[in-house]
Every structure is written in C-alpha cells, then in structure tokens.
Amino acid sequence: MNLPWLVKCLLSMALLPACYALAQAKLPDAPAPAEPPAATQPTQAHSSSQYEQAEQQVHQEEHQRILGGIPNFYTSFYANDVVLSPGQKFQLAFANAFDPVMFLASGLDAGYEQATDQFEGYGQGMQGYGKRVGASYADTFDGIILGSAVFPVLLHEDPRYFRKGTGSLGKRTFYAISTEFITKNDNGTWGPNYANVAGNLAAGGLSNLYYPEQDRGVGLTFERAAFDTIEGAMGAIVVEFWPDIVHHFSHKKQTSASLEQANAPAPAQSTPQHAP
C-alpha cells in the first residue's frame, strides 16, 4: 500500500509499545536453541573467555549466507549466544557493509532508479547512474554502520536477530516483525530497539547531504526511515523461515529420490547358458 509517510511513522510508533509488552512477557524465552555447540554456550568464565566465544560466533556468522550469496551475518540461531564486544559489533557491520553483494545490490538499485527516472536531479547517462550508485550504497553503508554498530555500542544493544525457530506461523511472523522495535540488550534483557529506530532516522537524515534538492526534507527523512523499517521487518521474516524453506525442499528432494529408487524396475537377471 502506498501510504503517506506520516501514516507509516504513526503505525510504527503505535506498534512499539505493543511489541515491547510482548517482549516483556514472551521474548526472553522465545528463541529455542537446539543443542548449541559448546563454543556458544554461556559460561561464568572471565571476560577473555567470553570474548573468545564471541569471536567464534562472529566467525561463524560471517559465513552465513542465503542462496549461497546474500549475507546473513546478523542471524543467531541460539538464544544463549554471548554478548558481542564493541569491536565485534563493528567487525560484523564492516563485513556486511563491504560485502561484494552490497555493491552489486547498489548497482541494480541504481539501474532501476534510472530506468524509472527517480531522483531526476541526478540526470541520466553514466554520470547520473554513477550518482545513483553512490547514493544507494551510501544509504546501505550508513544504515548498517549506524543501526548495527554505532548505536548498538552506545546503547548497549545486540544488533543480531535471534531466530525463534519454533511455534505457529503467526507467532513466528509477529516475532520477526516485532524485532524491528524490540531487541536483546547486552545484559540479556529485552527492551525497545532504540538503536534500530535511531539508525534508520539518522541514515535518512544523512541522505539529505547527497540527495537532489527536491528529494530532501524532514518529511522525506521520516519516509525513508519508515521504508527502512518495513524492509527490515520483511528481511526478518525471510531469515526466520529460510531454514524451514531449505529443509522443506531438501526433504522433498530426498523423498522423491527415495521413491524413484523404490519404483525403479529390478535389473533383469540373465538366464545361465549351459554348454552343450
């Protein structure tokens, strides 16, 4: 639906207290870990041990991808993952921001914008395309660094998405959407996702520095922040259900292969030839 930016912002603000209430009642126990490896289990060891565990988590998360290419660095599959240090939050953010897929996505986004003549102030031709690529990547970079590193460090929030993995379709979908407004804090509690909201607004505000003059302003800043929030919610739904989709099709493929093997005709047995 093409709602005015003000309506989208009002809807976002209306959802915030409801999601926070759900977090207080449900979310600390929501992501059910399925026997996490020993390296990710929380311990009462000294800080250096926790730092090493977090390093292992980050190393694993930096290799998570969807369809073999799309970065999925911010998904945690275990509720007990230890807290990330400020440096590790920036490490994940830079790994995500500088991933080649992000540059490719900016190029595709700029191509669509030029084809539909969005941001007319950039003009057409290679110069206009270059400006659109730069603006698109700047939006991506600002959003990641501010919303997933700077503000989470300042506000002591965990920028990762803790996958629920169990429950009904509706509950898991609502949980995924609600993580745009609630998050896990570094002390293990759950609360409002101020870092995400502030990151979206700050990134939208910074875009006024490089967008064409007619595409700047307070209203457009909030509109861009609202779109970022909606896109984030959609992304959370994808990463919540992606393992289920992969499992479904891989299981279906294995079942089909088993049926084909079971229905295959038995090899013909040759009749022994007796010498005269």
pLDDT of residue 33: 43
Residue 103 in any domain: the answer is no
Q: How confident is the model over 34-45, as pLDDT tens digits?
A: 444 444 444 444
Tally of structural domains, the chain = 1
**Is residue 31 pLDDT above 90, yes or no?**
no
pLDDT tens readout for residues 169-207: 999 999 999 999 999 999 999 999 999 999 999 999 999
Residue 211 domain-assigned (yes or no) = yes
Residue 111 lies in a domain: no
Residue 52, pLDDT above cutoff 80: yes
**With bands split at pLDDT 50, 70 and 90, how would you rate the model's confidence at 12?**
very low
Residue 184, phi then psi, degrees to nearest 5: -90, 130
Domain limits for position 181: 9-98+141-239
Do the Cβ atoms of 99 and 193 come closer than 8 Å?
Answer: no
For residue 271, pLDDT beyond 80: no
| Residue at 56: amino acid letter | Q
- pLDDT exceeds 90 at position 209: yes
pLDDT, position 212 = 93
Dist. CA 160–CA 152, nearest whole Å: 10
Q: Taking the alpha carbons of 51, 93, 59, 176 in that order, is the dihedral positive or negative?
A: positive
- Structural domain includes residue 47: yes
As a whole-number percent, the residues of the chain with pLDDT over 70 amount to 73
Residue 2 lies in a domain: no
Tell me if 115 is assigned to some domain: no
Burial level of 170, CB count in 10 A (0-12/13-18/19+)? exposed
